[in-house]
Structure 1
Amino acid sequence: MIRFEHVTKRYADGTTAVDDLSFEVAKGELITLVGPSGCGKTTTMKMVNRLIEPTSGTIHLDGDDISAIDPVELRRRIGYVIQQVGLFPHKTVLDNTATVPHLLGWTRKKARARAAELLDLVGLAPSTYGDRYPDQLSGGQRQRVGVARALAADPPVLLMDEPFGAVDPVVREHLQNEFLRLQSTLHKTVLFVTHDIEEAVRLGDRIAVYGAGRIEQFDTPATVLGAPATPYTAEFVGADRGLKRLSVTPVETGDLEQPPVVRLDDPADRAAARLTADGAPWAVVLDADGAIHGWVSAATLSGSPEASAAGATAGADARSAAPGARTGASAPKGTTVRAHARRMDAWLPLGAPLKQAFSTMLQHDAGWIAVLDGERFLGVLTPGRLHAALRRSTTADAANIPRGEVALDRVPDA
């Protein structure tokens, strides 16, 4: 969709902002351009809509050399979002959003209908916010209007220059989440400029790490963090890049352990006997359809008060503790697992990032969390398996081999 071929921007005073830049952006791909101030990332982006003209080289947009396209016509085909938003203070939110469709000759009715649709999409109900003016909105709300305005004419390409940089961290994270949700639906081709490596990692399908006027590394977030191509990249992404990888490494089926499983309507004494024979202190409880219900301890099923107390203290052992384990009453004879199972909130979907898994473990003080595919139980993730998943991902990217082919040696548990 976007192709740079040996593009250089050199100013009259001899300053080279961008030096011999060549890269491609695929249709529907979100590329983050990240680097320190003055490295050329904003210059790169502004050359796409010809706000800055290159000194040499060519830029193609959907196969067309942009130097042959009228700049005004080109800019109407490209959405543009900046940090300062740039809303017209004398126009309502609805009319601000409808600006580009009006310029393209849409009827007032059609333009305002499109604006209302986009405002709703970015979480600003047009019935509530449409008649307000920019100074009646919060900073985060103004940024949402800026995104809606950029999308109003349905451009195939979106340029975003530090769009969330002027809001506080909480609002910024919320805006990032909303934008990822939008992108998953709209699949725009996006160049997103930021100086924040955390933001670049979180949003980008690929990251272009800029040095002085050139790209030091252009790869997936996981690879940039796990296998920096140059010392500059390693220093820029930070010594804590292993922690940052938690955000871009998904939970996969190979990361899961398979604990004992019992059903809600299993007799309690039979379930207890199975767990005793297996030496298992707890089991996951599923309903008749295979959906997770919760967990149950062997101590409770066996009806032993001493065992129940011992099982409750197992929470200190992350290898065997159930989420929220507490001393429970002994199980009367002749009952089913249903009578003794405990509900469980410590779970997450397959494919969730390891950062979310770690956060869930801490939130629930859990030694393991269930992993689901829809409502289907797949297995559990433990701290040890989480660490192994992160190591395996790092090793795979560093060696440029598929993650599933990496085997890690483990020191046996004492």
Structure 2
Amino acid sequence: MIRFDSVTKRYPDGTTAVDDLSFEVGEGELVTLVGPSGCGKTTTMMMVNRLIDPTHGQVWVDGADVAGVDPVALRRRIGYVIQQTGLFPHRTVLDNTATVPFLSGWKKARARERAAELLDLVGLDPAVHGSRYPDQLSGGQRQRVGVARALAADPPVLLMDEPFGAVDPVVRDRLQKEFLRLQAGLHKTVLLVTHDIEEAIRLGDRIAVYGAGRIEQYDTPASVLGAPATSYVAEFVGTDRALKQLSVTGIDRGDLEHPPLVRLGEPAADAGRRLRAEGARWAVVLDEDGALHGWAATEELAGVPGTVAGHARRMEAWVPVTGTLKAAFSEMLKHDAGWIAVLDGHRFLGVLTPTTLHEALRRTIGSDARGVPRERAEVDSVPTE
């Protein structure tokens, strides 16, 4: 969808903003451009919609060299979101959102209807916020309007320059989650500029890590963290990159432990005898449909009347199998739990413990470093006794 072919931008004073840049962004892919200030990432993005023209090389969008496309027509087909939103202060939120449809010749009623749909999509009630002006909104709300306005004409490409940088960390986290939700449904081709490696990792399908005017590494977040291409990349992503990798490492069913199971309706004494025979100190308690209920201690089941249901404890520490190791670790800490259940819908699959979580992370780092599938990476454990 977007392709840079040997692109260089050199200014009259001799400053080279980007030098011989070549990379591609696939259709529906979200690529983050990350690096320190002045490294050329914003210049790169602005050459896509011809706010800046390259000195040498070509930029292609959807198979067309942008140098041969009328810049006004080009920009109306490319959504653009900046840090300060750039909303018109004298226009209502609804009319701000409808700006590009208005300019494209849509009838006013249709443009406003589209704007209302998009405000709702980004979590702003058009009946409440549509008639307000930008200075009547919070910073986070203005950023949502900026995203809605960029999407108004349904552009295939979206350019975002530090879109969540002007709000506090709590609002930023919410906006990032909301944008990921939107992207999962819209599948836009996105270039997003950020100086924050955490944001780049969280949002990007791939990351372009910039040095001075050039890309030092272009790869998936997991590969950038697990196998930095240069010492510069390793230093930029930080010495805590193993911890960062938790957020991009999914839960693998092969990493789960499978503790003993008992059912809510099972006689407690029978369950206790069985667990003692197996040498188990505790068991996961499931209902009759296989859904997680909680856990029970062996010593509390042995020799007591009634069913397991009368002695089971609820367990709130769980994550979906589609989650990440970071989510699992966070839940473990939140509930001060020695293990965390992994569920497929309501169905119990197994548990992660601190040991298996650590081994899963080491295996992922090892597989990235050696370029082998995760399931083939071996982990050497240090004996504890």
Task: Give the structure-1-normalised TM-score.
Answer: 0.92
User: Is residue 391 of structure 1 aligned with residue 362 of structure 2?
Assistant: yes
**Distance in structure 2 (CA, Å) of the matches to 1:413 and 1:370:** 25
Count of aligned pairs: 385
**Distance in structure 2 (CA, Å) of the matches to 1:392 and 1:107:** 57
**Distance in structure 1 (CA, Å) of the matches to 2:133 and 2:254:** 52
**Distance in structure 1 (CA, Å) of the matches to 2:56 and 2:249:** 39
**Structure 2 letter corresponding to 1:336:** T
Residue equivalent to 1:74: 74
Residue equivalent to 1:228: 228
**Structure 2 letter corresponding to 1:297:** A
**Distance in structure 2 (CA, Å) of the matches to 1:218 and 1:351:** 25
**Distance in structure 2 (CA, Å) of the matches to 1:64 and 1:377:** 50
**Distance in structure 1 (CA, Å) of the matches to 2:74 and 2:63:** 13
Residue equivalent to 2:349: 378
Instruction: Tell me by how many angstroms 1:296 deviates.
Output: 0.9
**Distance in structure 1 (CA, Å) of the matches to 2:260 and 2:380:** 25
How big is each residue's C-alpha offset from its partner over 1:300-336, in whole Å with a ceiling of 9 and x where there is no partner?
A: 1014xxxxxxxxxxxxxxxxxxxxxxxxxxxx32x11
User: Is residue 130 of structure 1 aligned with residue 123 of structure 2?
Assistant: no
Task: Tell me the secondary structure at the aligned position of residue 349 of structure 2.
Answer: strand
How big is each residue's C-alpha offset from its partner over 1:81-113, in whole Å with a ceiling of 9 and x where there is no partner?
A: 000100000111011000001111111111111
User: Is residue 91 of structure 1 aligned with residue 62 of structure 2?
Assistant: no
Residue equivalent to 2:308: 337
User: Is residue 5 of structure 1 aligned with residue 8 of structure 2?
Assistant: no
**Distance in structure 1 (CA, Å) of the matches to 2:270 and 2:93:** 65
Task: Tell me the secondary structure at the aligned position of residue 323 of structure 2.
Answer: coil
Residue equivalent to 2:140: 140
1:112-123 alignment runs, 5 A limit: 112-123=112-123
User: Is residue 400 of structure 1 aligned with residue 371 of structure 2?
Assistant: yes
1:186-205 alignment runs, 5 A limit: 186-205=186-205
**Structure 1 letter corresponding to 2:203:** L
Residue equivalent to 1:312: none
The runs of 5 or more residues in structure 1 that have no matched partner are: 304-331
Instruction: Tell me by how many angstroms 1:354 deviates.
Output: 1.2
How big is each residue's C-alpha offset from its partner over 1:137-195, in whole Å with a ceiling of 9 and x where there is no partner?
A: 00010000000000010000000000111111111111101101111111100000000
Task: Tell me the secondary structure at the aligned position of residue 289 of structure 2.
Answer: coil
RMSD, aligned α-carbons: 0.8
**Distance in structure 1 (CA, Å) of the matches to 2:45 and 2:9:** 12
1:48-63 alignment runs, 5 A limit: 48-63=48-63
User: Is residue 181 of structure 1 aligned with residue 152 of structure 2?
Assistant: no
**Structure 1 letter corresponding to 2:359:** A
Residue equivalent to 2:256: 256
Structure 1 runs of 4+ aligned residues shifted over 6 Å read none
The runs of 5 or more residues in structure 2 that have no matched partner are: none
Instruction: Tell me by how many angstroms 1:412 deviates.
Output: 4.3
Residue equivalent to 2:319: 348
**Distance in structure 2 (CA, Å) of the matches to 1:48 and 1:224:** 25
How big is each residue's C-alpha offset from its partner over 1:332-352, in whole Å with a ceiling of 9 and x where there is no partner?
A: 32x111111111100000131
**Structure 2 letter corresponding to 1:164:** F
